[in-house]
C-alpha cells in the first residue's frame, strides 16, 4: 500500500503558527458612556420621584423636577463610575 500522507503539511502549519502573533487585549469599559448613562437614568428616576410627591410651597413642578432630577443624576453618575471601575478591575484581572 502507498502512504498518502503529505509530508509538507506539518511544515506549513509550523510556519503559520510562527507567523501568528498573540497580543494581550486590554478590555476596559468606556467610562464616559457609563457616567452619561448613569446620569440620564438618575435624572429620569429623580423626575419620577419629584412628580409623584406633592408640590412644595414656593416651587413649581418644573423646579422640583429639575432640582431633584439633578441631585439624583449626580448620584447616578457616581454610581455608574464606580460600576465601571469595578468592571475594569474584574475584566483585566490576570
- Does residue 20 lie within any of the structural domains? no
- Does residue 71 lie within any of the structural domains? yes
How does residue 7 score in pLDDT terms, banded at 50, 70 and 90? low
- Does residue 80 lie within any of the structural domains? yes
Which set of grid coordinates corresponds to residue 53?
Answer: 410627591
Number of domains in the chain: 1
- Does residue 62 lie within any of the structural domains? yes
Domain extent for 64: 27-91
Q: 30 with 77: CB under 8 angstroms?
A: no
pTM over 0.85: no
Handedness of CA 6, 10, 13, 14 (dihedral sign): negative
* pLDDT per residue as tens digits for the range 49-90: 999 887 778 888 888 899 999 999 999 999 999 999 999 988
- Does residue 5 lie within any of the structural domains? no
Amino acid at each position: 500500500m502507498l502512504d498518502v500522507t503529505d509530508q509538507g503539511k506539518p511544515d506549513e502549519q509550523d510556519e503559520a503558527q510562527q507567523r501568528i502573533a498573540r497580543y494581550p487585549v486590554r478590555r476596559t469599559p468606556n467610562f464616559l458612556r457609563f457616567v452619561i448613562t448613569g446620569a440620564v437614568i438618575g435624572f429620569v428616576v429623580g423626575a419620577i420621584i419629584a412628580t409623584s410627591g406633592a408640590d412644595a410651597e414656593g416651587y413649581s413642578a418644573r423646579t422640583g423636577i429639575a432640582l431633584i432630577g439633578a441631585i439624583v443624576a449626580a448620584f447616578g453618575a457616581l454610581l455608574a463610575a464606580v460600576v465601571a471601575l469595578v468592571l475594569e478591575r474584574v475584566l483585566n484581572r490576570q
